[in-house]
Structure 1
């Protein structure tokens, strides 16, 4: 990068922040934004430079128990991102005395000024961020107050700027050594910890009713097209195959508006429909802990992994893919996405019941061990007290 009017180059500013040198003629957009924000007053007047870009709210109490793990959660308040953070927060609280603080950013460049002005008493051991808009504030918080920085999902900024990245298997793999799954590994920590799906706050219930079922419907996405008629036909087959089960169906914000009319013909005493707009907070988590079987349209990848975390038996409703399906025993064809590859891997492992299998066999596959990826990540972190010191 060219020097600014103070004579400093972008590399020198990144060095002041403790970031590795960036020596590219055309650095990534995120790095250019960071350079623009920080110049030319990194050392003396940074707070004045950033004053117009901020809208940040902080929640949390200041009383801290001795030996508590002080953790700051940086959120953009998108439901999916916040749900991942909440899952890790709850899991950490199950394995250590946790003192949490939530920092809410508004916009990609907002939050930085007040992030630098937070009265950190006490400073964090751990900063956890989820969502691209949280990365710059999180990096500056770590620079100012210390602590280890963990990001959930693949960052758009250089991986080496973060202490740990928790990445679902379907995210592209950075060219670094992956962290081992065993929590008994040495205190030294690698950059990447892989998980089965994104983290969530679902925990298995002690008992679920096998006569109560839940159907979760998504909608078109980058990886899937949509066909109302095909979904309705599968719902009818599902009802016929398991007539003893009472089903509750809900949709998502991605579901096409005309799906409500299309599904009306299949609704009866056995199948009721609760639109997502009529579900109160916490409704889905409660349903997953009560229902003995859950069927999910395959486009709803997060819902698939949440259902597998609940301990219920999980089935899959097919949705047209925008890329070819993988043929067992053959290499993936061109265009086969990592997201759909993850679904195919779960099918091959018999974690999910295909509808054809249910119709032919008359029953679903047994539930496997519930996925508890938030707990696994929490154990991995807590086992490395020396790394957090």
Structure 2
């Protein structure tokens, strides 16, 4: 039978099972939609999403963002499953597991991840982010014949194991099944209030949020960098800019203590969201500020800031080396979605110039992502 859109669910269906008749009659699952999965029909079509989560907020928040994009295309129900990946399952071993155990995904999932497939409802779409979920995503998609979305770099995994791979690097856009996008944000951009725009480089009366990361493999933070960051907040605050500050899991305790002290001492600092006490995700409300300043060591926080459709300033410590994320950040800077400002050169005037130089996104990135996913998922 040739592919055609089923009149009730809208999916291209090859073999639709007719509704039952008699006692207990009701709509049934349509098998092999697009040859990959099923769709439950209950008046309006609802897609069953299996959300695979690891223990890292930076990963599972991206999956939550991707699911928000899916909701623009179709109503969804979501089942969340925690995936624990053994230490030996890295790199080429994930590819080998998926290739060698493709004849029995259920066995591979039980052995490698401890997953009992009998306890998982058949999904239409599988979503996950992060290397620890990659093999499980591919195996579950094969077992259930479901469409699947992975957020991140595939490394050695074959592209054809996934319906869509959400990538941040422009060089990956040419690869099969890859979609170039921002990392999906952990909030709904449309829920944020419209920001006030600066009048020239005068930032008085505006609000700003500072998202602080910390030392990483590519970025070193010395005492001078932290002092310059503190000085920048104090100087711009005394010129009329109102700040709210937050840290991250990578922020050294001494730096977090400095931010806490700054919030207590500086009248221009409205508050400090300390994730050491408040927990991951507690600072999402800060994206409502008029201006977002983010330390350059965190590509994820930078992309979340860009998704908020406000001026974004990336603050760069003195010592940093090249990193893979530079490709993505360079592209955003080239489009003026963010402006880099070395902390060694940062003062009130240059910060104002950086804010004015940016061109925030106009379109909601989740709307754009949904439209890119529509043909891939047949929605």
Taking structure 1 as the reference length, what is the TM-score of the superposition? 0.66
Alpha-carbon separation, structure 2, partners of 1:201 and 1:111: 31
Moved more, 71-80 or 213-222: 71-80
Q: Paired residue for 2:125?
A: 126
What is the CA RMSD across the aligned residues, in angstroms?
3.1
> Where do 1:25-174 residues align within 5 Å?
66-108=44-86, 112-113=109-110, 115=115, 117-118=117-118, 123-156=122-155, 157-169=157-169, 173=172
Q: Paired residue for 2:317?
A: 319
* Contact in 1 for aligned 2:312/2:338 (Cα 8 Å): yes
* Contact in 1 for aligned 2:47/2:77 (Cα 8 Å): yes
* Contact in 2 for aligned 1:201/1:374 (Cα 8 Å): no
> 1:151, CA displacement in angstroms?
1.2
Query: Are positions 1:219 and 2:214 aligned together?
Result: yes
* Contact in 2 for aligned 1:90/1:201 (Cα 8 Å): no
> 1:280, CA displacement in angstroms?
5.4
* Contact in 2 for aligned 1:115/1:141 (Cα 8 Å): no
Q: Paired residue for 1:303?
A: 301
Alpha-carbon separation, structure 2, partners of 1:65 and 1:89: 21
> 1:237, CA displacement in angstroms?
3.0
Distance 1:98 1:368, change over 3 A: same
* Contact in 2 for aligned 1:116/1:144 (Cα 8 Å): no
Alpha-carbon separation, structure 1, partners of 2:151 and 2:256: 34
**Structure 2 residues without counterparts, runs of 5 or longer:** 1-39, 90-106, 197-204
Alpha-carbon separation, structure 2, partners of 1:282 and 1:63: 34
Alpha-carbon separation, structure 1, partners of 2:137 and 2:366: 21
Q: Paired residue for 2:232?
A: 237
Alpha-carbon separation, structure 2, partners of 1:359 and 1:353: 14
Alpha-carbon separation, structure 2, partners of 1:128 and 1:265: 40
Partner SS, residue 167 of structure 2 = strand
Alpha-carbon separation, structure 2, partners of 1:269 and 1:149: 49
> 1:115, CA displacement in angstroms?
4.3
Distance 1:65 1:252, change over 3 A: farther
Question: Residue by residue, what CA displacement relative to the aligned partner does 1:320-347 show, whole Å, maximum 9, x if unpaired?
Answer: 3432xxxxxxxxxxxx333134333333
Number of residue pairs matched?
297
Alpha-carbon separation, structure 1, partners of 2:350 and 2:144: 60
Alpha-carbon separation, structure 2, partners of 1:353 and 1:385: 35
Q: Paired residue for 1:254?
A: 250
Aligned with residue 361 of structure 2, among 366, 369, 374 = 369
Q: Paired residue for 2:9?
A: none
Higher strand share: 2
Partner SS, residue 68 of structure 1 = strand
* Contact in 2 for aligned 1:168/1:194 (Cα 8 Å): yes
Taking structure 2 as the reference length, what is the TM-score of the superposition? 0.68
Alpha-carbon separation, structure 1, partners of 2:315 and 2:327: 16
Question: Residue by residue, what CA displacement relative to the aligned partner does 1:332-381 show, whole Å, maximum 9, x if unpaired?
Answer: xxxx3331343333334332244559614845225522574443232222
Question: Residue by residue, what CA displacement relative to the aligned partner does 1:209-261 show, whole Å, maximum 9, x if unpaired?
Answer: 66221111110111111123223323323442452111122111111222245
* Contact in 1 for aligned 2:209/2:286 (Cα 8 Å): yes
* Contact in 2 for aligned 1:92/1:375 (Cα 8 Å): no
Q: Paired residue for 2:185?
A: 200
